[in-house]
């Protein structure tokens, strides 16, 4: 049997079931239910740094609450306390700093990704009780949007939302999102804005916001949309700056007639869509609501380091 090929992976640190190894050497069982069924949930947390200060996760408590909801819905026990999850991220950042394969100079901002699967068992569909969850995590340099993307905005395309009816679970079963993102990738666009039965849902790996007459609109919190952690952040920023905010079902026609369209995610933070299906959004330039929210977002990051 040929050896399992990992020589294309950098020997950067990762965490697996209580131990820190490297991406090119760690192994999981082929009967792990995450591998067999995609039976697990995940989180991705932005961790920001400042010179001579310890990196701080952004909206960590909200991530922990969403993780708890996802694990409860999938009936998987949470293997760690919030303090333990935070410590895993800190340990991985420290291990990265010691790694000879690490990016130099060391980055300030990180992306902490972790997933929890139901564990290892002989292949059978029922949610077998008593399994030990598998925990995998990495903490790698953040890859934020470029300065040009922030200044000019990004192009997106639209598609029907063909995914399952439990989009609110941050499931590692992401084949639907892979197909959705491939649509935009093949057209040279950044994201795929999706519609379910004629109403806005979300993008392949982002939430989508509609701005009209100075008000920010988003899809409701329900089972058809993954409630990104930025849902609460955007609502708070709007309230702080006197910008209207409303969640409701948004018809496709309203999206196409928007003054501004925005993406939000852990790595994108807030990012303007200025072209949709080859047509300009509003003026075709990032708008004033985007700039206000982006500035507010940066202040929220700075607040992580204030005593």
Radius of gyration for the alpha carbons in the chain, expressed in angstroms and rounded: 20
Instruction: Give dist(CA 31, CA 48) in Å, integer.
Output: 36
d(CA 4, CA 25): 10
Examine the residue annotation and report whether 143 is marked as an active-site residue of this protein.
Answer: no
The first and second tokens of residue 197, run together, are 């039965």
**Cα–Cα distance between 110 and 46 in angstroms, integer?**
6
Instruction: Give me the residue label for tokens 């082929």.
Output: 30
Spatial distance between the Cα atoms of 280 and 144, rounded to a whole number of angstroms: 23
The torsion angle over the Cα atoms of residues 29, 31, 35 and 40, rounded to 10 degrees, is -100
Phi then psi dihedrals of residue 159, to 5 deg: -160, 160
Catalytic residue among 143, 170, 212, 268: 170
Catalytic residues: 170
């Amino acid at each position: 049997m040929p050896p399992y090929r990992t020589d294309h992976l950098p020997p950067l640190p990762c965490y697996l079931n209580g131990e820190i190894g490297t991406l090119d050497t760690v192994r999981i069982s082929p009967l792990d239910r995450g591998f067999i069924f995609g039976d697990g949930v995940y989180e991705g947390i932005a961790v920001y740094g400042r010179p001579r200060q310890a990196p701080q996760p952004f909206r960590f408590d909200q991530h922990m609450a969403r993780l708890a909801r996802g694990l409860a819905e999938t009936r998987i026990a949470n293997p760690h306390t919030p303090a333990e999850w935070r410590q895993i991220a800190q340990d991985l950042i420290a291990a990265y700093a010691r790694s000879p394969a690490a990016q130099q100079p060391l980055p300030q901002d990180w992306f902490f990704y972790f997933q929890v699967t139901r564990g290892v068992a002989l292949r059978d569909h029922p949610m077998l009780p008593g399994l030990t969850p598998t925990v995998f995590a990495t903490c790698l340099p953040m890859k934020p949007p470029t300065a040009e993307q922030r200044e000019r905005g990004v192009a997106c395309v639209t598609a029907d939302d063909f995914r399952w009816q439990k989009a609110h679970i941050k499931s590692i079963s992401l084949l639907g999102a892979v197909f959705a993102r491939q649509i935009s990738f093949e057209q040279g666009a950044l994201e795929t804005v999706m519609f379910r039965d004629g109403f806005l849902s979300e993008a392949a790996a982002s939430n989508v916001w509609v701005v009209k007459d100075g008000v920010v609109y988003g899809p409701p919190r329900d089972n058809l949309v993954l409630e990104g952690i930025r849902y609460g952040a955007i609502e708070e920023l709007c309230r702080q700056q006197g910008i209207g905010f409303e969640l409701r079902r948004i018809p496709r026609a309203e999206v196409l007639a928007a003054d501004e369209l925005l993406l939000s995610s852990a790595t994108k933070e807030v990012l303007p869509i200025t072209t949709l299906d080859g047509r300009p959004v509003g003026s075709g330039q990032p708008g004033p609501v985007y700039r206000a929210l982006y500035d507010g977002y940066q202040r929220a990051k700075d607040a992580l380091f204030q005593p």
